[in-house]
Amino acid sequence: MAEKETINKPKDLIEPVPEELSKIELKDAMGESIEVEQVKEKRLTKEQRKILLEAEAGKKALDAWVPKTKLGRAVKEGKVKNIEEVFANDRKILEAEIVDSLLHLESDLLLIGQAKGKFGGGKRRAWRQTQKKTMEGNVVTFSCMAVVGDKKGHIGVGYGKAKETLPARAKALRNAKLNVIKITRGYETPEEDKTEPHTVPFFVEGKCGSIRIRLIPAPRGTGLVVGDECKKILRLAGIQDVYAVTKGQTRTTFNVAKACIEALKKTNEELLK
């Protein structure tokens, strides 16, 4: 009896791109732009499909956005087309949709919480759970810390707290977009200034609480020699190579993230002199 021929399909491949997503630009994990129309007849991975669905949801939210501030109305009408104009005029951003309209942002969550485990050895997770003792019983709240960036020198970190995990994440993402700043990237040697900047321009140091973090320029190809949570911030900021020295209670992710952002802010001080 002849054996049946079996075909092994990759597990990460799913259905073709839907018709309504045919005009959205897809950016893969390497940061390269891909027009969905070019891959419409092909199958996409779960990660690529997730990016497409998030882009579609963001596009619908922007179309339905009704701005409430003067800056928001200017962005909606197309009078302000670059976020550099907002920073140059020192205008305060009060609506997250302003940043969504002017930048193509990627997001990530910092691991600030810890799951339950024996002897305090639980796995780190994105949500930190706390309890408040009341007459009615224990009131549980969840807090979350998010980071957004476009990998081109714009970065923001935000904190959110709610009674559920998803509202806490939404608050953190919104606050991160409202806190977006522009940083200056540089080179390890001045001879490289004709290529794309890849590291911090000079020694910078940030502090928060007991945390002291120092970022040092590194040669191209070194990578991010720093803790995992700082890696997320530096990668979304567009920094590819850096050395770092940290001191203090580094398990306190809140202070580590704030110290890292303070250090990145100091990359602009040389331009102001």
Domain boundaries, the chain: 13-102, 106-181, 185-272
Give the Cα separation of 264 and 155 in Å (integer).
9
Give the Cα separation of 230 and 243 in Å (integer).
11
Return the axis-axis angle of helices 253-265 and 228-237, rounded to nearest 10°.
Answer: 30
Dihedrals phi, psi of 163, to nearest 5 degrees: -80, -15
Residue 90 falls in which region: left (phi positive, over 0), alpha (psi -120 to 50) or beta: left
Predicted local distance difference test score (pLDDT) of residue 114:
83
For residue 245, the cross-strand partners are 214
**The one-letter amino acid at 232:** K
Give the Cα separation of 36 and 220 in Å (integer).
32
- Please, are residues 148 and 178 in contact by the beta-carbon 8 Å criterion? no
236 pLDDT higher than 90: yes
115 pLDDT higher than 90: no
Which DSSP symbol is given to 124? E
Kindly report the CATH number that applies to the domain delimited by 106-181.
3.30.160.20
Q: For residue 257, which of 195, 175, 193 has the smallest C-alpha distance?
A: 175
164 pLDDT higher than 50: yes
Which DSSP symbol is given to 199? B
6 pLDDT higher than 50: no
57 HSE (CA, 13 A, CB side): 6
CATH of 185-272, one of 3.30.1300.10, 3.30.230.10, 3.40.640.10, 3.40.50.10150: 3.30.230.10
180 pLDDT higher than 70: yes
Predicted local distance difference test score (pLDDT) of residue 2:
47
- Please, are residues 15 and 46 in contact by the beta-carbon 8 Å criterion? no
Enter the pTM of the model. Answer: 0.77
Please indicate whether the domains covering 13-102 and 185-272 agree at the CATH topology level: no
What's the alpha-carbon Rg for the chain, to the nearest Å? 22
Predicted local distance difference test score (pLDDT) of residue 270:
64
CATH of 13-102, one of 3.30.160, 3.40.50, 2.60.40, 1.20.58: 3.30.160
Give the Cα separation of 256 and 145 in Å (integer).
12
- Residue 90 pLDDT grade (very low, low, confident, very high; cuts 50, 70, 90): confident
- Please, are residues 255 and 247 in contact by the beta-carbon 8 Å criterion? no
Predicted local distance difference test score (pLDDT) of residue 44:
63
